Amino acid sequence: MQSFSDQTRELRKQKGDTLREVAAFLNIDQAILSKIERGQRKASRDIVVKLAEYYKVNVSDLTKAWLTDKIVFEIENEDQALAVLKVAEEEVAYKSIPT
């Protein structure tokens, strides 16, 4: 799966837009968007939703990439990363069972 930052940069280039144009739509500075595209700054959920709207892509797919990046950033250097993900998966599955 492609990272959120790579996806956003690729979407912008495919559409042929400049950082300035996309940043104006998002109402953020183009330097911030540039950092998001390079993975140096994390986007907010609001920006993810606006980017999906701007590029006319599925918000769920873009959100999935965004959340994946957030999780990887938090645990990638942990020795127990895979074990933690397994426990988290079980917790999420458990909480989604209707009562």
Rounded to the nearest 5°, which phi and psi values hold at 43? -80, 155
- Is residue 27 left, alpha or beta, with left meaning phi > 0 and alpha meaning psi from -120 to 50? left
pLDDT (0 to 100) of residue 97: 74
The 10s digit of each residue's pLDDT in 31-71 is 999 999 999 999 999 999 999 999 999 999 999 999 999 99
State yes or no: pLDDT of 99 exceeds 70: no
pLDDT (0 to 100) of residue 53: 97
From CA 51, how far away is CA 63, in angstroms rounded?
10
State yes or no: pLDDT of 89 exceeds 80: yes
Give the residue extent of every domain in the chain. 4-95
Q: Who contacts 35 (Cβ-Cβ below 8 Å, separation ≥6)?
A: 41
Determine contact, residues 48/59, Cβ cutoff 8 Å. Answer: yes
* pLDDT category of residue 76 using cuts at 50, 70 and 90: confident
pLDDT (0 to 100) of residue 65: 95
Pick 4-95's CATH classification: 1.10.260.40, 3.40.1440.10, 1.20.1730.10, 3.20.20.140: 1.10.260.40
